[in-house]
Structure 1
Amino acid sequence: MLAGPHEVDAARDVAADLPLLTLADVLGVPPEDRGLLYDWSNRVIGWQDPDYAVSATFDPARGTDLARAALALRPGPDAGGRMPDPRTRSGMPDLYAYAAALGERKRADPGDDVMSILMAQRDDGPADGRGVDGRVSVEEFENLFWLFAVAGNETLRNGIPGGLIALLEHPDTQRRLRAEPDGIPAAVEEMLRWWTPVMVFRRTATRDTEIAGQSVAAGDKVVVSFASANRDDAVFEQPDCFEVARDARAHLSFGHGPHFCLGAHLARVQMRTLVRELLARTAWIESAGEPVRLRSNFQRGVKRLPIRWTV
């Protein structure tokens, strides 16, 4: 990153690329196809944003035959400029087609990636009434691929620029971490708390209950605000302040309980490594322009973050 000009869009060229490189390796996606994950994540997470909803940056000429076949199914906007709902299978036919083809290829010619291991598994029990022989079905693989390709990308992708914004807005903290790099793991937890990439999630109550004096009936939809929880003054002193000396590990940026993020540990390792290397390889980083925020009521995302550094 530091060999080129001393300005970069940290949101696109750093924060977006690191999880794509990692996910492509973990999922067994050919390196030349990893740009597909970028467009798919944009369309799903940024479906309210006029730029991300129609994201189509991937060049099929540089991709594999799997990518070109999938891209032939990519939907376009309707006469009103609206894309189909990407939260449905019909809204993402290119993703599901690619996942199906990749799953079949992994089963026929496995590698050492997670998806090859998954497709090679076989349960010990008998085949069920549908004739399933204990292996992961292609349909199950498609859904898992969607989860990993999209959800496995976004928290880190938006957490990194959020953390960088914190450093840009708090120069004393940047100086402190440069002088005391052992504080970076704790700083990353504070970045995740202070920025909170996934702001809300909706759950369905399975039984009648009461939350803080409010009755909730079975079947009610309840919106869980992680952003609000991470600024709870009953848990964090002066919660609106960015303070890397605090113990912020009680934050809920990765969720809680049975829905705790599967990739939380990997995301933490990547974010710590990136912050450590960025500070070690530069003398200073500063803003080179205003951040451009993602239009979303779900993700606290950053589409563009121009930064400048000295070495």
Structure 2
Amino acid sequence: MSEYSPHQDWDPRDEAVLDDQRAAYDTMRRRCPVAFSDYMQWSLFRHADVRRVLEDHATFSNAVSRHLSVPNAMNPPEHARFRRLIEPYFAPGPMRDFEPLCRDIADKLVDALPAEGEIEAMADLGQPFALQVQCTFMGWPDELHAPLQDWVTRQQTATLAGDREALIGLAQEFDSVIRGLLEERRLAGAQAPDDVTTRLMRERVDGRTLSDEETISIIRNWTAGELGTISACVGILLRYLAEHTDLQMRLRREPELLPAAIDEILRMDAPLMSNRRIATCPVTLGGRRIEAGERLTVLWGSANRDEAVFGDPDAFRLDRDPDLNLLYGAGIHVCPGAPLARMELRLFLQALLDRTQVLAAVADKPAVRAHFPAGGYSRVWTQVQR
């Protein structure tokens, strides 16, 4: 970190910002599109600046974590070696094999809803769906559902507070749980279940098997992404459809529109708010000089609402260019799990729309926004009629 320390352009932890991140980011995009704060250092609000950073990995390094993060915090050529290992898990074949299991989870959760009445979408659908899908995909027991949800909640709290000590402890806690699962499979030997966790243990890179630390890092990244982001997506989608009954009814009639509709809703309201980069050399963005070693926060929740690219950011359109939507990132670090996430959300909404007649907002219970680093909502009350 250089000694260069500009004044604060904004406070990301101000109560007004946390209460409505979208509105705050919309304002900052117009007022100060490259902004400095003590908490985030340089925040990028415009689509063009975000895209530049994502595609120039030589100037803007992904190696921002203090701990091993495979492959999220890696740069080429190391990143490519691990990326090649990971991508086959989300290829068309494995996704087809997993689809019936994912559909069954979605169907059973929706079938368990009341015939008529209020639900809280995050607790009743979003969180259990994400937990069950992740554990099923990885081959983990149901007993992990509750502790994993508690872990995600505490991790988000520690991240918001900037509590590095707590984050280190949470990483160690997660690692301990996964080490136990790996040891169970080692002890089982040839009788170990043929699941994703076991297959990861047998992967090789540079002619050697992965270390436990590398395997755990991959699993941690997958798990944190799945549990936090998919549950946020469910809340965002339910709230939007409950408030737009015409679209809700159209998607019931034309389910083939679901993939494009889901991506567009999540463009407007980001489930994942940000990622980090670090400058490897002095660079100018938006007229601001950024020194080597300074940290940048890429704000998806702003870039995907940039009027310069999308016009009215709240206008729902099914004919947008999908390459402009940064929902799953861009460049070499585009999310490898995007095929799984898209399949999960499509199957979830298909089950929900097939098994309900009406989804409506609850007038006297407005949705409660989640606070950074989470996107979407912490509470979404919805009236259901089946």
Tell me the alpha carbon deviations over residues 214-269 of structure 1, each in whole angstroms, 9 at most, x when there is no partner: 33222121121111110112221211223445445522122222222221111111
Q: Is the 8 A contact 1:186 1:247 kept in 2?
A: no
CA distance in 2, matches of 1:35, 1:146: 16
The residue number in structure 1 matching 2:5 is none
Structure 1 segments of 4 or more deviating over 3 A?
A: 46-49, 82-86, 122-125, 242-249
Q: Does 2:383 match 1:308?
A: yes
**Secondary structure of the residue that 1:151 maps to in structure 2?**
helix
**Counterpart residue identity of residue 27, structure 1:** M
1:84 CA displacement: 7.3
Tell me the alpha carbon deviations over residues 275-298 of structure 1, each in whole angstroms, 9 at most, x when there is no partner: 12211111111123322332x222
CA distance in 1, matches of 2:302, 2:350: 28
**Counterpart residue identity of residue 277, structure 1:** A
**Counterpart residue identity of residue 95, structure 1:** F
Match of 2:312 among 229, 238, 254: 238
For residues 260-299 of structure 1, what are the structure 2 equivalents within 5 Å?
Answer: 260-288=334-362, 289-294=365-370, 296-299=371-374
**Secondary structure of the residue that 1:224 maps to in structure 2?**
strand
Unaligned runs of 5+ in 1: 54-81, 126-133
**Secondary structure of the residue that 1:254 maps to in structure 2?**
coil
Q: Is the 8 A contact 1:96 1:142 kept in 2?
A: yes
The residue number in structure 1 matching 2:325 is 251
Q: Is the 8 A contact 2:155 2:170 kept in 1?
A: no
Q: Identify which of structures 1 and 2 has the higher relative contact order when contacts are C-alpha pairs closer than 8 Å and 6+ apart.
A: 2
1:193 CA displacement: 0.2
CA distance in 1, matches of 2:385, 2:233: 23
**CA pair 17-227 structure 1, distance change in 2 beyond 3 A:** same
The residue number in structure 2 matching 1:167 is 241
1:86 CA displacement: 4.1
Tell me the alpha carbon deviations over residues 158-196 of structure 1, each in whole angstroms, 9 at most, x when there is no partner: 011111111122222222222322211110111110111
CA distance in 2, matches of 1:245, 1:172: 17
**CA pair 310-123 structure 1, distance change in 2 beyond 3 A:** closer
The residue number in structure 1 matching 2:280 is 206
**Counterpart residue identity of residue 98, structure 1:** V
Match of 2:131 among 13, 20, 23: 20
Tell me the alpha carbon deviations over residues 72-110 of structure 1, each in whole angstroms, 9 at most, x when there is no partner: xxxxxxxxxx9874432x244432211111112223333
CA distance in 1, matches of 2:132, 2:234: 15
Q: Is the 8 A contact 2:151 2:170 kept in 1?
A: no
For residues 1-311 of structure 1, what are the structure 2 equivalents within 5 Å?
Answer: 1-5=110-114, 6=116, 7-47=118-158, 85-88=165-168, 90-109=169-188, 110-123=192-205, 125=207, 134-244=208-318, 246-288=320-362, 289-294=365-370, 296-311=371-386
Q: Is the 8 A contact 1:9 1:304 kept in 2?
A: yes
CA distance in 1, matches of 2:262, 2:287: 34
Tell me the alpha carbon deviations over residues 21-70 of structure 1, each in whole angstroms, 9 at most, x when there is no partner: 12112222112222222111111124367xxx9xxxxxxxxxxxxxxxxx
Unaligned runs of 5+ in 2: 1-109
**Counterpart residue identity of residue 156, structure 2:** I
CA distance in 1, matches of 2:330, 2:113: 41
**Secondary structure of the residue that 2:111 maps to in structure 1?**
coil
CA distance in 2, matches of 1:26, 1:162: 23
Aligned residues: 270
Q: Percent identity?
A: 33
Q: Is the 8 A contact 2:239 2:382 kept in 1?
A: no
**CA pair 300-19 structure 1, distance change in 2 beyond 3 A:** same
Bigger mean CA offset, 218-227 vs 106-115: 106-115
**Secondary structure of the residue that 1:16 maps to in structure 2?**
helix
